Amino acid sequence: MCTKGIHVVFFVSSCFRGPVMIMEPLLTKYVREPNCFTLDFYLKHEGYEGLKKALALTPDQVVEMVKASGLRGRGGAGFPTGMKWQFVDKRSPNPRYIACNADESEPGTFKDHLLMERNPHLLIEGCAIACHAIGARVAYVYIRGEFFHVQRVLERAIDEAYRAGFLGRNVFGSGFDCDVYIHRGAGAYEAGEETALLESLEGKRAQPRNKPPFPAVIGLYNCPTAVNNVETLANVPLILRNGAEWFAALGPEKNGGPKLFCISGHVKRPGVYEASMTMTLRELIEGCAGGVREGRTLKAVIPGGSSVPMLMPDQLDAQASFDGVQKAGSLLGSAGLIVLDDTACMVWLAENLLHFYRHESCGKCTPCREGTDWLHKILRRIERGEGHMRDLDLLSSISGSIGGKTLCAFGDAAITPVLTTLKHFRHEYEAHIREGRCTLPASWRARHAAGAR
Amino acid sequence: MIAAPVAGAAPTLSVEVNGAPDTLPAGATILDALRAAGVHLPTLCHDERLTPIGVCRLCLVRVQGWARAVPACSTPLLDGMRIETNARDLEDARRTALTLLARRYPADGVERDPHKEFHRAILEHGLERELLQASAPGPIDRSHPYIAVDMSRCIDCYRCVRICDEVQGQFVWHVRDRGLDTQIVPDGPSLFESSCVGCGACVDTCPTGALDDAARSRLGAASAWTNTTCPYCGVGCEMSVGARDGRIVAVKPVLDAPVNKGHLCVKGRYAFEFVGADDRVLDPMIRTGGQWRCTSWDEALTFAAARLGDLVARHGPDSVGVLGSARATNEENYLAQKFARVVLGTNNVDCCARVCHAPSAAALKHSLGTGLGTNSFDDIEIARTILVCGANPTENHPVVGARIKQAVRRGAALIVVDPRRIELASLATCHLAVRPGTNVPLLNAMAHAILAKDLVDRRFLEARVDGVETFARSVEAWTPERAAVVCGVDAELIRRAARLYATRAPAMSIHGLGLTEHVQGTDGVTLLINLALLTGNIGKPGTGINPLRGQNNVQGAAHMGCEPNTLPGAASPKDGRAVFEQAWKREIPSTHGLHLLHMMDAALDGRFNALWTIGYDVLLTNANASETVRAMRALDLVIVQDLFLTETAREVGSVFFPACSSLEKDGTFMNAERRIQRVRQVVRPLGQSRPDWRIICDLARAMGHGELFDFREPEAIWNEVRALCEGARGMSYARLDRGGLQWPCPSEDHPGTSILHRDSFAAGPRAVLHGVAYQPSRESTGPEYPFVLNTGRSLYQFNAGTMTGRTPNNALRPSDLLDMCPDDADRLGLSEGDTARVISRYGSAVLPVRLNAGVQPGQLFATFHTPSIFLNSTTGSHRDGATGTPEYKVAAVRVERTA
Ligand SMILES: Cc1cc2nc3c(=O)[nH]c(=O)nc-3n(C[C@H](O)[C@H](O)[C@H](O)COP(=O)(O)O)c2cc1C
Ligand code: SF4
Ligand code: SF4
Ligand code: FES
């Protein structure tokens, strides 16, 4: 399920509601153009106009604009970006920093990769505007350890931007100085957690810090820092170019702007789709991605990367917005929609995901370090048909002692696959235990085993 | 999610813990509130010495209105918090977390040592049955003589890693891999081969048996603990000593000790086994016909008293002398000098301060009016610039060294003046690698640079300093360029250091024997004082002139009057005479008295006949050993009072008084920051050995002066000191009980003095800058003696090795070494481990070579810890003009390969 190290070709497309295209793609419009990542190409398409406009405004005005645009963080939590910038401590005598979270490691999520590879200047422009907004002079882009290729593309783009005067000293003659640096991680899911990311940037192990204090007050090198996701920052130039109202109107209330959805799993056309958050999940899955394969039925959808609760087929008419998905009982998270058809064994799924979480737990805090391992051991036991009924209570009670009790949100993420499959598919667990094996047809199981490790 | 802390928080916080209201001071954590409320939670990743990281998640609490449970240890307390600790889910989570840890933890450890924090938590929660019954796999490392590693017992609390980083600053423990595969590993193939300095901090904090004192399995667990002051260096760490069946088995740091704040070094923490060493002398002895013979105290005392009395009668009182001891208490040193002055009737009394910091005391007294260090160790954390001159604290005063390292980590600028690239030099903003013997031109050039750029503190000079013009003229010619040629230090670097010291205030100066053990030792210290006066870095927090005193009580020995021209309390004979004569009912001799080196000279001239040396191996430690041997051989009587048959005793002793160590007696020590601290008896004196104070009283009685030496316990002696010395008056034993007090402390309600010269100097309202002309060392190198040999100490051995040499420290440093830069070694065809003969004009010594790129070409460094190597055979006879302190730091030598 984790895409680490696998080269995947994705469909990239805008979204249609029925036959009607409801939104012109903005972030990904040109990604198929051969030279879309070059500065020349970018400049022909309003490149760095947003920065120019931003520099004519005061930082506070930029923050106000972003607040009014309804832009919410695309990294997972959906926190309003303008508000995050406003919290950056302005009274501190220390420098301030932008840290762009490009660690993209959430299973089922592959949008930031695309943006950086095909539209790097959009991110760089976003970084520069963000720096201006919070009074920083330096932005660090922390990219995932496996993204060698992306690093090269970004570095080239940054060089171009320096040479053209969009970065460096006195940008646009405004007196604004801005440097953007790339730092590639060593390959750890947890490095995407914002405080772990800061530790890693500082050259330490990617392990999170206790919050409070939040990075906005004590962040990188103990200085006020805003941590923003790639897609979040990539939206910022659009707001500056076209205005906050325009941006807000692209989506439902408080869910402004375009959104990238990563649709993977048992669909006909997996890929990255850019759409308005006014769409429903069903429209995305059935319309854009073509629905599940012939002869199969939809079993469940994990709508926000592997760390959020599942939705059942009858819940898919929920709006694909932060608020809409939450109302339906899950979270939009990183907008990685993992679609599962009836061939998916839910015990296997939980075991597979817990294998991932157990492996990725940073080990800093006891419940997660020890608990994910124990959960995984129990799940493996059940999956192999060696479980007991009392294991199901054990799974719930261990999960209960991890949820909300760990240092960072990883713990909550890690127990979600267990709790959500137990909630909706307890009968599959019971069948495994009763029968001593998976009760799905043997041909399907073979595929699971092959993909698992 | 969580409210940000309110700006300008109220001085007290009103909170509720499980429904009960409470108020706490601002700055407290939730854990403080729980402890105040008597709520006990396991806190396995918490240690007061460390920044909390909240990872074991056992102290989780809920704060009303907050979404997530938070760890009490790392969450600041805010006004109005309503804290809940006993919700069902919190208790479940706590139990689960402990169960998870227990499931991979071997059961036998818990039984063996139920007091360890983790074991206690397991037992309190009744989780013994969850423990692993088999032995768990995990790296076991028994390579280190003091620290046993068994990582099958590690619960990943990171306390060892953090204390090594945050307290010792050594960064030995690394974390490898992640998640459940996390391993804590040293930065070398084994702990022994790692960069570990053996301070034991990780052992002290580890809540399990993963890191443990290796001696525990050999010596057993302590049954009683006694707090006392460390028997080693002048930092004066407070430690808790564990004993079992009359034997010392363990040492722990005292957490709230003002000096060491819960830290110790390898010597204090582990090197205690000398106390019961096999060759400890436990009976009085008399030497007849070259043979030592055990005897009774009565006989030994009577014999010594008769001989001393006879010599005084025949040659006069100034033909005999006494040496007090830096290892003995204040009380004992007070008695030693009283004995000399009252019983023998001479001012011939001295102590080992003569060979170390006498120049500091002389210069400080001359310039500022008192010879004591001006500030406190707590100023290290306040200073923004620290100037370390001729000291290697990370080896020789390790707990202060660790505090300096942490200060640098927090951003203090560090200037190091030292010929060698010592550990601190590698952390320094400026390292001035001065040629040995050229401190005076260097410091003059720094003063020049400060004056040239007008970086002086004008207001301070106007208010409190005289002689600025004259001094400025005296350094006028010492441009950094000129000094650069003499000192071998880049002129710009001198300017940079001067600027830092002058402008990045407050600046604190810390110096050691690299400044004092020179022919211009006193002059060097005078110039350091001048820099402080010029820049106003004195009399304020984070500033001052701070000699790092070598031995635990060398400061006290000198201060109690073990110097020819000093009476107790450092009173001059002129001012103090009346008080002491009245109290002692004797006239204090009017002759000047001989210091140690003059005693040696007089002995060679036949004018000095007897020496009583208390806890001081003169022969091994004096410079120019062959001359010392000749002098000592000329004596008619040498009374040696020690734990062991020292080189002095072996060569020239006539009578041996077996003393006991400071761990076997009561009293007080005075550390480098003038702090008087209690010394407490941990075990009874071994065999017939006696505390020094008793022996002195016994001999006084044997010589017919019992009435003035009628003391039953050290406290009575101390009370006599208090009655006679104003500075000690407020320091009753009762008040000294916790943490000690800093001299002067003139009354019972006085808090002690952390900083001297705040408003005026001891000498008066104004100090005077004294110019110093440069006199090069008379030790000249040339074709015959091409190298300059510098001598000093090292981490694992202490001075003459009398104590550490009888402990497993020998495994950590088996021998003295000759440090030489690789190029020089190459030229001489020497490689690491070869033995070489060092030959000076005075003698020679043979020792193994160690290649050390931190030593400059043409220079050598060697320690003097190993009696069999006897490095002081090579040091010379030149002395500091003012105090007679030998020039240990400069000897011209050549090196020859031995077969
Ligand atoms: C375990 C864990 C992993 C995360 N990984 C990522 C990631 O790879 N990329 C990302 O943008 N945010 C990630 N986040 C979320 C970040 O902590 C943070 O919320 C985000 O970078 C904020 O940016 P935004 O406000 O622009 O969304 C992760 C969070 C957790 C708890
Ligand atoms: S919850 Fe997991 S990932 Fe987060 S700090 Fe704890 S061990 Fe590390
Ligand atoms: S060795 Fe001890 S102190 Fe270090 S992490 Fe393990 S349990 Fe904690
Ligand atoms: S003691 Fe608070 S989390 Fe470990």
pLDDT digits (tens, 9 = 90+) for A427-446: 999 999 999 999 888 777 65
* Residue of chain B with shortest Cα separation from A356: B179
Close Cβ partners of A452 (under 8 Å, ≥ 6 residues apart): A348, A351, A352, A355
Stretch A162-190: mean pLDDT: 96
Close Cβ partners of A3 (under 8 Å, ≥ 6 residues apart): A107, A108, A110
- 3-state class (DSSP) for residue B761: strand
Tell me the whole-structure pTM to 2 decimals.
Answer: 0.93
Counting as low any pLDDT under 70, the low residues of chain B are 1-10, 136
**In sequence order, which ranges of B125-228 are alpha helices (DSSP H)?**
159-163, 201-205, 215-219
Contact B619, B629 (CB under 8 A): yes
- 3-state class (DSSP) for residue B327: coil
Contact A147, A165 (CB under 8 A): no
Question: Quick check: A340 pLDDT over 70?
Answer: yes
Q: How far is A109 from chain B (nearest CA, A)?
A: 23
Atom of ligand 3 nearest to the CA of B206: 3
Q: How confident is the model at residue A5 (pLDDT cuts 50, 70, 90)?
A: very low
Stretch A336-353: mean pLDDT: 96
pLDDT digits (tens, 9 = 90+) for B717-742: 999 999 999 999 999 999 999 899 99
Separation between Cα atoms, residue B273 and residue B263, nearest integer Å: 20
Close Cβ partners of A295 (under 8 Å, ≥ 6 residues apart): none
- Answer yes or no: do A361 and B69 touch at CB < 8 A: no
Q: Which residue has the tokens 């603990």?
A: B225
Close Cβ partners of B815 (under 8 Å, ≥ 6 residues apart): B847, B848, B866, B869
Close Cβ partners of A139 (under 8 Å, ≥ 6 residues apart): A97, A98, A99, A100, A127, A128, A130, A131, A178, A179, A180, A181
Q: What is the ipTM of this complex?
A: 0.90
Q: Is A84 on the interface with B (CB under 8 A)?
A: no
The ligand that comes nearest to the alpha carbon of residue B182 is: 3
Give the model's pLDDT for residue A449. Answer: 52
Which residue, among A405, A406, A407, A410, would best test binding to B if mutated, counting the most B CBs under 10 Å from its CB? A405
Tokens of B842: 């005075």
Q: Is B583 on the interface with A (CB under 8 A)?
A: no
Pick from B465, B367, B374: which is nearest to B758 by CA? B374
Pairing verdict, β A336-341 and A298-302: antiparallel
Q: Which residue has the tokens 């056309």?
A: A269
Separation between Cα atoms, residue B689 and residue B274, nearest integer Å: 14
User: In what helix (H) or strand (E) does residue B555 lie, and over which residues does it extend?
Assistant: helix B554-559
The ligand that comes nearest to the alpha carbon of residue A409 is: 1
Q: What are phi and psi of B565, to 5 degrees?
A: -110, 25
Give the model's pLDDT for residue B10. Answer: 52
Cβ(A369) – ligand 2 distance below 6 Å = yes
Q: Is A409 on the interface with B (CB under 8 A)?
A: no
Q: What's the one-letter identity of residue B795?
A: L
Question: Quick check: A447 pLDDT over 70?
Answer: no
Residue A24 CA to its chain's centroid (Å) = 22
What's the start-to-end Cα distance of chain A, in Å? 10
Q: How confident is the model at residue A453 (pLDDT cuts 50, 70, 90)?
A: very low
pLDDT digits (tens, 9 = 90+) for B771-810: 999 999 989 899 999 999 999 999 999 988 899 999 999 9
Stretch A336-358: mean pLDDT: 96
Q: What's the one-letter identity of residue B680?
A: R
Pick from A367, A314, A310, A352: which is nearest to A333 by CA? A310
Nearest CB among B52, B158, B180 relative to A370 is that of: B180
Q: Nearest C-alpha to atom 9 of ligand 1 is from which residue?
A: A104
Stretch A300-315: mean pLDDT: 97
Stretch A75-102: mean pLDDT: 96
CB atoms within 10 A of CB A41: 16
Q: How far is B59 from chain A (nearest CA, A)?
A: 10
Q: How confident is the model at residue A14 (pLDDT cuts 50, 70, 90)?
A: low
Cβ(A379) – ligand 2 distance below 6 Å = no
CA-angle at B640, arms to B634 and B643, nearest 5°: 150
Separation between Cα atoms, residue B533 and residue A329, nearest integer Å: 72
- 3-state class (DSSP) for residue B62: strand
Separation between Cα atoms, residue B372 and residue B558, nearest integer Å: 10
How many helices and strands (H and E) does chain A possess?
17, 12
- Answer yes or no: do B57 and A365 touch at CB < 8 A: yes
Close Cβ partners of B363 (under 8 Å, ≥ 6 residues apart): B522, B523, B524, B525, B526, B528, B529, B882
Question: Quick check: A6 pLDDT over 90?
Answer: no
**In sequence order, which ranges of A250-389 are alpha helices (DSSP H)?**
281-282, 322-327, 346-360, 366-383
Cβ(A415) – ligand 2 distance below 6 Å = no
Give the model's pLDDT for residue A22. Answer: 62
Give the model's pLDDT for residue B217. Answer: 87
Give the model's pLDDT for residue B114. Answer: 92
Q: In whole angstroms, how far apart are CA B129 and each of A395, B101, B134, B322, B677?
A: 20, 12, 12, 66, 47
Contact B211, B147 (CB under 8 A): yes
Q: How confident is the model at residue A4 (pLDDT cuts 50, 70, 90)?
A: very low
Stretch A119-134: mean pLDDT: 98
CB contacts under 8 A, A 253-312 vs B, are none
Residues with CB under 6 A from ligand 1: A 73-77, 79, 84, 101, 103-106, 189-190, 192-194, 227-229, 232, 408-410, 413
